[in-house]
Amino acid sequence: MAAILKLPSADAPGVISITTPERDNVIKPSPELRATLQDLRGSWLVGLHHNWHDHAFVHDPLFDFSFAGKDDLREVTGKSFPVLGLDACNFTPEVFAPGGTPFWDVLFVARAVYFKRIPKFFQTIRTLYDRGHVLRVLLLSPIPPHDPADEKTVFHGIRLEYERMFDSHEREFFTLLTMDWDYPFPLDLPTLAHFYRSARVFVHTAADERRCRVAAYAWATGLPVVGPEPIGSLLPHALRREPWFFEASRDRDLPRRVLEALEAAPLAGSDLDAVRAEVASDSTRRRLVDRLAEIAVSRGFGWNNDALALDRLDIRLGRHHGLGVPGPNRVEPGLAELLDAIVRRPQDVADAAKQGDLERMLEQSIVSPSHSARKIRRLAR
């Protein structure tokens, strides 16, 4: 979706970020919408949030900068462009912090989709149990709404496979909690953070997923993370090592790496501050503002820190505007309606910016402009 990060003022631009799905499915087919964004650049910086890595990237000058990791984009022509080295996963909310009493040895949080490789996680735990390591394990798995078109991507048989692989006694130690409401975020953040604080080690088995939000939550909570090489990509190379990241270069290494991570937990010391500085929003918001100021000056704008809207960037930056499955990861009005509100109803946008989740608040005014101020105030209570 489009996330509004700053409103314009007399001497500084506004900042808005568009996701790659909106770029591909909304902006590219619409010359009119592209022209609107181009006009907006007279008083705004326009960024692009990459919801997946792109090693065949073609930079579009419509966008002033990219939310992505340094190694996530490879521009095919060799063109230079601003890459922030940050994305949604770097903005973990403050509720994710060390300080719990561990109950589970292993935690995995993964949507029931095949690229997360949940069967590989099952096999890892099966191997550990067969070797006599009966660990307490929790898998939290949001389930997508059923759609026959998703049969090739959604792991609908997750519970059947779990019950096939683990008997009733083993399931007393290995809990699979499937959640079929409010996909993909069925739990509020304090509840989710409680599960992280109640675990010793986080495991992620996806083989081709970089910069994972759920791994960022683990590092912010002070947990070691076990997984294939791409899972560690969120951390700089100097920190992409034990005891923070236990890379499993082969699937058969996963059980051994889990045990080694458990030996290392709990984690503390000076490196904890360095790791949290990469993923915790209280640090990364400052880095973001500094980089945006540099880009603004390079485009001939001034800069100030007025009218910033930087709450909940871990969700807002990657959320969709009128695209995808209805639920917490989607705001209903389309990108065109949002841009129209920015241009024609700046006061509604300014009112929404004071309430935290700007786009969610602004959604109400777009749906019913005549009642926007009242709805925004009511939702903010």
What digits encode the pLDDT tens for the residues 22-79? 899 889 999 999 999 999 999 999 999 998 788 888 889 999 999 998 888 888 888 8
144 and 231 part of one domain: yes
CA-CA distance, 53 to 36, in Å (whole number)? 27
230 close to 169: Cβ distance less than 8 angstroms: no
Which range is least confidently modeled, 61-75, 90-104, 339-353? 339-353
Q: Over range 242-252, report the average pLDDT.
A: 96
In a domain, residue 329? The reply is yes
In a domain, residue 320? The reply is yes
75 and 118 part of one domain: no
288 and 260 part of one domain: no
**5 pLDDT more than 90:** yes
State the burial class of residue 97 (Cβ atoms within 10 Å of its Cβ: 0-12, 13-18, 19+): middle
Cα distances from 212 to residues 36, 184, 291, 339, in angstroms, run: 32, 14, 22, 29
Exposure b/e, 333-368, CB count within 10 A at least 16 = b: bbbbbbbebbeebeebbebbbebebbbbbbbbbbee
In a domain, residue 63? The reply is yes
The better pLDDT of the pair 368, 122 is held by 122
66 and 207 part of one domain: no
Nearest to 313 by CA among 359, 372, 375, 365: 359
294 close to 12: Cβ distance less than 8 angstroms: no
Instruction: Point out the domain boundary residue: 278, 312, 329.
Output: 278
pLDDT at site 236: 92
Residue 58 in 3-state DSSP? coil
What's the predicted TM-score (pTM) here? Answer: 0.88
What digits encode the pLDDT tens for the residues 117-146? 999 999 999 999 999 999 999 999 999 988
In a domain, residue 97? The reply is no
125 and 267 part of one domain: yes
Range among 171-180, 318-327, 351-360 with highest mean pLDDT value: 171-180
Output DSSP code: residue 224: -
267 and 203 part of one domain: yes
Q: Over range 283-301, report the average pLDDT.
A: 96
Average per-residue pLDDT for the chain: 88
Instruction: Point out the domain boundary residue: 236, 256, 278.
Output: 278
**262 pLDDT more than 90:** yes
- CATH code for the domain of 153: 3.40.50.2000
Percent of all residues in the chain with a pLDDT value above 70, rounded to a whole number:
88
pLDDT at site 372: 40
172 and 250 part of one domain: yes
326 and 211 part of one domain: no
Beta bridge partners of 40: none
64 and 108 part of one domain: no
The better pLDDT of the pair 37, 368 is held by 37
In a domain, residue 60? The reply is yes
363 close to 333: Cβ distance less than 8 angstroms: yes
In a domain, residue 99? The reply is no
pLDDT band of residue 370 (cuts 50, 70, 90) is very low
Beta-carbon contacts of 105 under 8 Å, excluding residues fewer than 6 positions away, are: 135, 136, 137, 199, 200, 201, 262
What digits encode the pLDDT tens for the residues 200-232? 999 999 998 988 999 999 999 999 999 999 999
56 and 84 part of one domain: yes
E strands along the chain, which residues?
3-6, 14-19, 44-49, 54-57, 65-67, 73-75, 104-109, 137-142, 174-179, 199-203, 225-227, 245-247, 320-321, 330-331
Instruction: Point out the domain boundary residue: 278, 298, 327.
Output: 278
In a domain, residue 98? The reply is no
Beta bridge partners of 308: 6
pLDDT at site 150: 84
pLDDT at site 304: 94
156 and 68 part of one domain: no
Please report which residue ranges of 25-100 form alpha helices under DSSP H: 31-40
142 and 223 part of one domain: yes
Domain interval for residue 257: 104-278
pLDDT band of residue 377 (cuts 50, 70, 90) is very low
Please state the domain count of the chain.
2
In a domain, residue 218? The reply is yes
pLDDT at site 356: 63
**254 pLDDT more than 80:** yes
